[in-house]
Structure formats: C-alpha cells, structure tokens
A and B are shown apart, each in its own frame.
Chain A
Amino acid sequence: MLHRLSPQTIRILALLVVLLLVILFFSTQVPNYLSGRLFNRVSSSVAIMALIATAQTLVILTRNIDLSIGSVVGFVAFATGSLITDNPDLHWTLLVAFSITLGMFFGMINGFFVAVAKVPAIIVTLGTLALFRSVLVEFSDAKSIVTANLPTWLINFPNTPLLEIGTLQLRASFAVAVAVVLVVHIALSRIRIARKLYAVGSNPEAAEMAGINIGLTVFTAFVLSGALAGLAGFLFLARFGTITVVAGLGFELKSVAAAVVGGVNIFGGSGLVIGALIGAILVDLIDSSLVRWHLVSEFWREAVLGGLILLAVTMDTLVMRSLAVWRTARSNSKEDRRANVQSP
C-alpha cells in the first residue's frame, strides 16, 4: 500500500496524523478544548496565514525566498484601508482588485531584482523587507486605519458564516483561503506553465536545457506571490480593522515555517500548497493551544514552537530518507528477482 503512494501524498497523510495527534494531546491537557469554537478560531486565524504560506510556497518552489512578504501585507492592508476610508462607497471588486494589483507591484519589484538583475532572493527581499516597511512608515504619516472609518460590509465579511453545523462555522475568510489554495494546487499539478515552477526549482540547468525561460518563470512566481500577499493584505484589513505600521510584522518567518512544516522543500522543486495549508493550520493550532496549556509558561512558548518546527522538519527528512532507501531496496530486490527469472 505504502509504496503506491507518492512521497508527497505520504507527507500530507503524515501531517494529517500529526494534526490529529496534536488535537488529541491538547484535548487531554486543556479543559473545554474540543468544541466547534476551536475550529472557528483556528480556521479564521489561519485564513490569512494560508494565503501567505501559499504565496511563499510559489517562491520557494523556484529555489527562492520572499522575506518581504510581511511588509507587503502590511503596506497593502494600510493602503487599502486608506483608500476605502477616503472613498467609502467604492465597490468591493475594485477594492480587492486594488489590493491584488498593489501586491503584484511589490512582487514585480522583487521579481525584477531576482530574475533580471540576478541578485540572490534572500538579499533582495531582506532589503525590500526593510524598504517596504519604511515606505509604509512614511506613507502612513503616523496615522492608523481605524475600524470606525471602514464600511460595515468589509468588517463583517471575514466572519460571515457560509455554512453552520452546530457551533461549527465555515466562515467566508477561511472559504476564500481554501478556494485560493485549491485553485493554486490544481494549477500547479495540472497546468503546464505552472509546472515550470517545479522544473526551475528542482534543476535549473535541466530546465534551461528544456527551453524554459528561467528568468521569466522566477519573475512570474514573485508576481503571483505578490498578488496573493495583496489578497492577504485585504483580508488582514477586513479582519483586524485597525491597521498601524506594525501590521504583518514577522509574517516572513511564519510563512516560511508553515511552508516548511507543510513539506515544501526549502531548496525548491518539491512541495504542495495543500501541505503549506496544513502546515499553517498546524503551526497556528500549536501556537494557540500552547497559550491555553498552563504547563508551558509564556516565556517558553516561542521556544517550544521553534522546537516543534525543528522536530517536524527533522522527522520529515528522516522518514522521507528511510522511505527512499526502503523503496530503492525494494525495487532493487524486485529487479533482482526479475533478473533471476530471466537469467537461466
């Protein structure tokens, strides 16, 4: 059975098992843990992170990284907020389009330096991380976007229940995030152009030989990632209402963590956005559960989370490696048998 599944599928299954174990563990530790509320909490808070983890995955697949993603989310949230504050009657489609376009613009800046100027992505985005944030500080003029100035439809949007089963709600923000993840997942697995991201990441030389325009592919990855970050910025605004210059601070690390825990190879070329989604859920679940677990003091929360991420990645590597060894051995023995049969 195990040998028929692709390593990626096994990884997803393993993640789901870990997710289940985490939930079971905390339900024995924390009173009132298992309830519809738990799902509502995690699903609403993971919506933004799922989009960002997906955006990060697109870039990581091409052997790059986007550290500026938190600054982009923050800037888009602020700019979108000030746009709707000044024009309260703006149609929602225009507002969403604005967020996405602005995100794409930042993606283009990153993409230009990485793909055209050939500067390593970690350097470029480390620079733009600070740069975009500084532009935001300048642009904001020390004002905050406040909930009172936002239209009601925007504030109510993220928590609108689309489906209710008891206390369990499927909320609009989570639905949007899952829809985006699914679309990206299908695109990455079915569409030829999107497969180029994997090709470029797994072996750039081979990809070039195969006639793939590496620069263009990397540029596209950054622009798409920017678009998703822009959408995440829109959701961020809708969810939190009050936006200051610290919005989205630290998202770069969380998004990388979610993607890596979700089985996306940090050296590019392999990984699924579904994995990144589950990774985001796992990180969020552990983080919010640790707050309620009194055995771990607040001071150790970050350390525990960091330890768990390390553990997850190490386990993943070890399991995948032994799986590969086991498979090679298995197929070798099969070939041996076949050879034995043919030889006499």
Chain B
Amino acid sequence: MMQRTGSTTCLTFLQAAADMAPSDGIRLRFDSEAASIHGEADCSEGQDYRWRKETGMTCWGHTGQMYTPKSAQGAMQPRRWRNEMKILTTIWATLLVVLSTAVLASGHVKMLESGKDIDMVLLPKFLGILVFDQANEGAQEAHAELKNNGDLLFVGPTPENSVAGQIEIVTTAATQGQGVVMLSNNAGDQIVPAATAAMEAGTRVVTWDSPIPSGEGEDVFVAQVDFGSIGEVMAEMAHSLLDGNGQMAVLSATPDAANQNAWIASMQEALKDTKYADIELVDIVYGDDQAELSYNRALALVDQYPDLGVIMSPTTVGIQASAKAMQDEGLCDQVKVSGLGLPSEMVSYTLNGCAPEFALWDFRDLGYLTYYTAYGLASGQLTGEIGETFMAGRMGEFAIEEDPGRPGSRRILMGPFTVYNADNVEAAAK
C-alpha cells in the first residue's frame, strides 16, 4: 500500500504510481488528505486501486467495479507536459477511437441481426437456486432485445436428480430440434455423449458458469471471469483478512466440481508469489454444496487448526454455512470467512464482521451474454472460431479465444467480478 503525505491529488498519485513502475497486481490506495481533487482522473478518496500493466490503473474494492480512470494514460506523462499532453492525448484518443470503431465495425466486430427464429433452451445445474434464476432474467432480457421469434425455455432438473436430469434434457432438446442448449454443466464429462449427439443433430451447445471439462461436445464456454483471476482475488482477500500473515483453509463444493477445482488450483498458483509467503494454506475440505455438511466441515477445520485465520469458500453454499458456523460458535473474531457468495445471503455476516469481504460476478450479465453468444451461433451469424468478435448488446464487445485452462477449447470471457464488503453489500442485497 502506498502512503503519500502532504497534499496529494489524484494526478500526483497516478504519477507516483507510474514512477514506482509497480508489478502487476499491486494494490494502491488513493488518499488525498483533504486536498482538492482535480478533475483529470476519476480517483476517489480512500479507494483501492490495482495496477494492471496493460490498462494502467484499475479500481479495486470499495465499489468493486474494475475500471480504468479516463485519463490514466495522460497522467503518466511527466508533469510539465501535462496540459499540452492532455490536449494532444485527447485529440489522438478521439481520433483513435473513431478510427478503430470504424475499422472494427467494418471488419471484425459482428453485429448480430435480430428477429431470427431460434428455439433455445437455458439449462441450469438444477432449479430453485437464485443465481440461476438471475441468469434466466438476463437471458430473457436478451431474448426480448433480439426479438427472437423462437422460444426461450428455462428448464432444469430437480436438485436430487441433477446429473441424470441434465443428460436427459440435453438429449430431449436434440430430439426436439432445439437450435441451441445453454448448459451450466453439473455432470462433468458424463454429459459428453449427449452433448456430442446434440451437436451432430444440429443443436449447438454453449456452456456457461461451468464448462464441460474435456471441452468435447461444446461450441464455446462463456466464462463468468477468468478462472486464473478468481484465484488471485481469493489470495488477495485472504491476504487482507490475515494482514499478510497466517493460516487459511479452503472449504469447497464437491471434490470433483470442475470449476471450484480450477479456482483452487489458480489460488494455489497465486499464493506462490512472495507477497503471500507468510500465508499458509493448511487444508482443503469439501462440503458437497450442502449446508449441514459444509457447516460441520467448517467447524472441523477450526478444531483441527487452532491458529486458523481464514476459511476461503469458493461456493455460495459453503461460504454462508461457514459464516453461520463461526457466528454460532462465537469464533468470528479469530476466523474470518471469505470466498464467493451471494450478497443477499451474506449481508448479515458481512455487517457483523464474520465475513468482511467476498466476491461474485453478475449472473444476470452472464445469462445475457450467454444468450447473445448462443443466438449468434445458432443463427449462423457466428462461426465460433477463435478470434471472432461480436457485439453483445449493452455489454459491448466480446471475443472468442482459446481457453487457457482447457487447451483446445474455446471460451468467451465475461468479467469483471465485484468484491463486496460492508460498504456495498447492503445495496447489492436488495
């Protein structure tokens, strides 16, 4: 964390940050100490920023939305050139934007034509879970926006029949001749035969939230966030909750949950950084995404490791069960809970300090983007090739790329995700 004394403006803050030539991912906090804030950059008092090589400064924490201050680039220039450079930069930037938009629009970024006639199926892991309903809301929004004359069906198995039910629904969708199935896969590679058969029958398969691990039988995976960056964020949250030093443990979903395992692996990777040298990951346990099991697992962790400081749970069930367990046993002062959680379920634990910080992405947006992708593919407007770029309505431009976590498979990266704490959790919970 960078401390500045005296009168600090946003500009000098950015200037100093640039002078430090910080490494990727470093956190900086802007502190004006009652100095007036100039309008050149969108810095806010007390807000944390995270350094990104490619974009300059990105905001972190507080509002949680990742963004780049408008004039971050300009602010990096030596101070005496500031005004001149600013004008020049503005002119150049405007020109560049105009030019690039023109180039992209004519060549690369595909605009999807609305009003086609495509039947689509949105298939969650199972029914009755809030986040999946939010994804459906996003998909319905896109459905209306694209004026699709076909039907958008939101169908899913019941919780106790998730794996078999998903396979059955994919098979049925192919038989019915649906244009596309949008799948949040809960069946691992067991879904492959059904998904491959569906693709052979002409039904496109777009996965979202949770991909098909082998990538077989899948056109493209719409990833909520970069799986690598989830690991970084979890490491970062643990770091801030432990003040850089202490023991943490992971409470995951099932031992074979593809997405959780990928996130945990990426967190272990992130923890190798010297910054986290004093953080010890002592154990990984699994609560099978069931409240009672997760609750007991969390308590077993506390009993096993008397010095445990953080329980990191990358699942919405695990995080709230852990928080409840710590609250019930009066352990919130010793053990903090963090991970991925739903604001509406976590609000009381965030406010009482049991789970001061956690992250999640917007499932409405995920549903919306998935719909655009699926619509584009099923209507033949997108081919699904790597490098293809298209406009996804209000969310802007997205590109199909190779999935770094699953070589040979393709993904579309949504991002960003939001870090929630006492400042923003109440608003998000409503």
Contact = CB atoms under 8 A, between A and B. Distances in A.
A241 B158 contact: no
Contacts of A159: 328-329
A240 B291 contact: yes
Contacts of B342: 144
Given A246-B289, A246-B290, A249-B160, A45 B130 contact: no
Majority DSSP secondary structure for residues of A touching B:
helix
Interface in B251-304: 255, 284-286, 289-292, 295-297, 299-300, 303-304
B370 interface: no
B158 A130 contact: yes
A167 B328 CA distance: 15
Contacts, number: 113
B345 A133 contact: no
A148 B346 CA distance: 9
B90 interface: no
B347 interface: yes
Given A48-B292, A137-B127, A242-B345, A298 B306 contact: no
A134 B158 contact: yes
Interface in B117-153: 126-130, 132-133
Interface stretch (A30-38, A105-113, A260-268, A332-340): A30-38
Contacts of A245: 126-129, 159
A274 interface: no
A241 B303 contact: no
B348 interface: yes
B347 A148 contact: yes
A216 to B, nearest CB: 31
Majority DSSP secondary structure for residues of B touching A:
helix
A144 B161 CA distance: 20
A142 B133 contact: yes
A91 to B, nearest CB: 23
Interface residues of B, number: 40
A248 to B, nearest CB: 8
Interface string B318-361: 00110010001100000000000010110111000000000000
Interface size class of A (residues with CB under 8 A): 35 or more
Contacts of B347: 146, 148
A127 B299 CA distance: 35
Given A146-B344, A148-B347, A41 B290 contact: no
B241 interface: no
Interface of A: 30-32, 35, 37-38, 41, 45, 48, 71, 129-130, 133-134, 136-137, 140, 142-144, 146-148, 158-159, 236, 239-247, 249-250, 287-288, 291-292, 298-299
Given A45-B292, A133-B159, 4 more contacts: A146-B348, A239-B295, A244-B291, A246-B128
